[in-house]
Chain A
Amino acid sequence: MANEQVNLPSLLVILVLTGLVVRYFFFSSSGSPPAAQQAGRAGRRDAASVMAAREAAVVRLQQLFPQVDRRTLLWDLQRTGGNIAATADRIATRRIETPPITFQPPPPPGGQATGGSTEQTHGKPEDKPAQPDLITRYRLQGKLAEGAGSGSETESRGSSPGGGKTKAWSSNRDERQSLLQRRRDEMILEARRKMEAKIAAEKAAAES
Chain B
Amino acid sequence: MAQSTAHRRLLQEYRITAGPVTEDDLLHWEALIQGPEGTPFEGGVFPAELKFPRDYPLAPPTMKFLGEVFHPNVYPNGLVCISILHPPGDDPNHYEHASERWSPIQSVEKILISVMSMLAEPNDESPANVEAAKMWRERRGEYEKRVRDGVRRMLGL
Chain A interfacial positions (CB closer than 8 Å to B): 64-69, 92, 98, 101, 115-116, 118-119, 121-122, 124-128, 131, 133-137, 168-169, 173, 176-177, 180, 183-184, 187-188, 191-192, 194-196, 198-199
| CB–CB A191/B23 < 8 A | no
Taking a contact as CB atoms closer than 8 A, the residue among B23, B62, B67 that contacts A122 in the complex is B62
CB distance from A172 to the nearest CB of B (A): 11
| CB–CB B92/A98 < 8 A | yes
| CB–CB B53/A67 < 8 A | yes
Q: In the complex where A66-B51, A66-B62, A67-B53 touch, is A134 in contact with B156 (Cβ < 8 A)? A: yes
| CB–CB B76/A195 < 8 A | no
Taking a contact as CB atoms closer than 8 A, the residue among B44, B54, B79 that contacts A116 in the complex is B79
- The 14 listed contacts between A and B (C-beta, < 8 Å) are A67-B53, A67-B87, A101-B92, A128-B77, A133-B153, A133-B154, A136-B156, A176-B14, A177-B22, A191-B43, A192-B157, A195-B155, A196-B157, A199-B152
CB distance from A48 to the nearest CB of B (A): 29
Please name the residue on chain A nearest to B157 by beta carbon.
A195
CB distance from B71 to the nearest CB of A (A): 15
CB distance from B150 to the nearest CB of A (A): 10
| CB–CB B67/A180 < 8 A | no
Q: In the complex where A115-B75, A195-B151, A199-B152 touch, is A122 in contact with B64 (Cβ < 8 A)? A: yes
Please name the residue on chain B nearest to A193 by beta carbon.
B155
Chain B interfacial positions (CB closer than 8 Å to A): 14-15, 17, 19, 22-23, 32, 34, 43-45, 47, 51, 53-55, 59-60, 62, 64, 66-68, 75-77, 79, 81, 87, 89-90, 92, 151-157
| CB–CB A119/B152 < 8 A | no
| CB–CB A119/B89 < 8 A | no
Q: B residues within 8 A CB of A180? A: 19
| CB–CB A184/B32 < 8 A | yes
Q: B residues within 8 A CB of A65? A: 53, 55, 59
| CB–CB B153/A195 < 8 A | no
| CB–CB A199/B47 < 8 A | no
Q: A residues within 8 A CB of B45? A: 134, 187-188, 191
Bound complex: CA A133 to CA B45 (Å): 10
Bound complex: CA A101 to CA B154 (Å): 41
Q: In the complex where A173-B23, A188-B155, A195-B155 touch, is A122 in contact with B47 (Cβ < 8 A)? A: no
Bound complex: CA A66 to CA B92 (Å): 18
| CB–CB A127/B77 < 8 A | yes
Q: In the complex where A66-B53, A134-B67, A180-B19 touch, is A195 in contact with B152 (Cβ < 8 A)? A: yes
Other 17 A-B pairs with CB < 8 A, given A98-B89, A101-B92: A66-B62, A67-B62, A68-B87, A69-B90, A119-B75, A122-B79, A131-B68, A134-B154, A135-B155, A135-B156, A173-B23, A176-B19, A177-B22, A183-B17, A187-B32, A191-B155, A194-B43
